[in-house]
Amino acid sequence: MVSRSTKDFVLRREERRVIDEEKRQAALDAMGVLDTPPDERVERVVRLAQDLFRVPMVSVSLIDRDRQWRKAQIGLGGKRSPTAGFLL
């Protein structure tokens, strides 16, 4: 049997996760960067990361409510994918 304190801890942890997710989404929305044109500064960071780590694929991704949106990328297809395909 699970103790009451364990149940309370799990519930509080889940409440914090929901609150944290709401804050994260609000911050992303406030940035206003989703679905915007390419930004050379972000593109430069992606190219630098590719050169530095010598990897074929790099992306700067933003996680929206139901999708992963790539602000900049090298070696990946498409700008969007469902969050179900992305491990958080």
Judge contact between 56 and 75, C-beta under 8 A: yes
Question: Mean pLDDT across the stretch 56-81?
Answer: 89
Torsion of CA 12, 13, 16, 17, to 10 degrees: -140
At 16-47, the pLDDT tens digits run 888 899 999 999 999 999 999 999 999 999 99
Rounded to two decimals, the pTM is 0.69
